[in-house]
């Protein structure tokens, strides 16, 4: 599991990105459970994620509507299969509007560049 913290900070919200190889929906769920064993990530407002699996792509917005699809589209463009990417947000008290999607993209780009 690779974790990159403090990727973006905007109006009090803080973002991190993490990921690792998974080959099934069960492994994706296990990855999220393992990540959330870290209290910092368990207390996050959103842990949005996506993965391209052989059967079908999976995504979860975790309350951050549309964020899972942003991650999924970036995985498709990079043709990165069998690798989950999780973007974590700690809400800072102010709505970010469309900027939140840019922040998700920045986090995913940071993760992919670090591979």
CATH of the domain at 101: 3.30.230.30
pLDDT band at 69 (very low <50, low <70, confident <90, very high): very high
Looking at residue 100, its pLDDT comes to 94
What is the pTM assigned to this prediction?
A: 0.96
Pair 14, 89: CB distance under 8 Å: yes
- Average pLDDT for residues 42-56, to the nearest whole number? 96
Note the pLDDT of residue 56: 94
pLDDT value for 73: 98
Range of the domain at 29: 2-114
Average pLDDT score, the chain: 96
Higher pLDDT, 95 or 19: 19
Total domains in the chain come to 1
Q: Whose CA is closest to 111, among 33, 103, 99, 93?
A: 103
Residues pairing with 58 in the sheet: 51
What is the chain's alpha carbon radius of gyration, rounded to the nearest angstrom?
13
Q: Alpha helices of 43-98 — where are they, by DSSP H?
A: 67-78
Task: Return all residues near 22 (Cβ < 8 A) that are at least 6 apart.
Answer: 28, 30, 31, 51, 53, 82, 83, 84
What band does 29 get if pLDDT is binned at 50, 70 and 90? very high
């Amino acid at each position: 599991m690779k974790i990159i913290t403090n990727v973006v900070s905007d109006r009090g919200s803080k973002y991190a990105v993490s990921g690792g190889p998974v080959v099934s929906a069960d492994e994706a769920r296990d990855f999220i459970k393992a990540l959330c064993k870290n209290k910092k990530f368990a207390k996050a407002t959103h842990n949005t994620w996506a993965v391209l699996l052989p059967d079908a792509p999976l995504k979860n917005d975790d309350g951050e509507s549309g964020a899972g699809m942003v991650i999924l589209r970036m995985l498709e463009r990079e043709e990165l299969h069998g690798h989950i990417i999780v973007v974590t947000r700690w809400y800072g008290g102010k709505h970010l509007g469309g900027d939140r999607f840019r922040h998700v993209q920045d986090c995913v780009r940071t993760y992919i560049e670090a591979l």
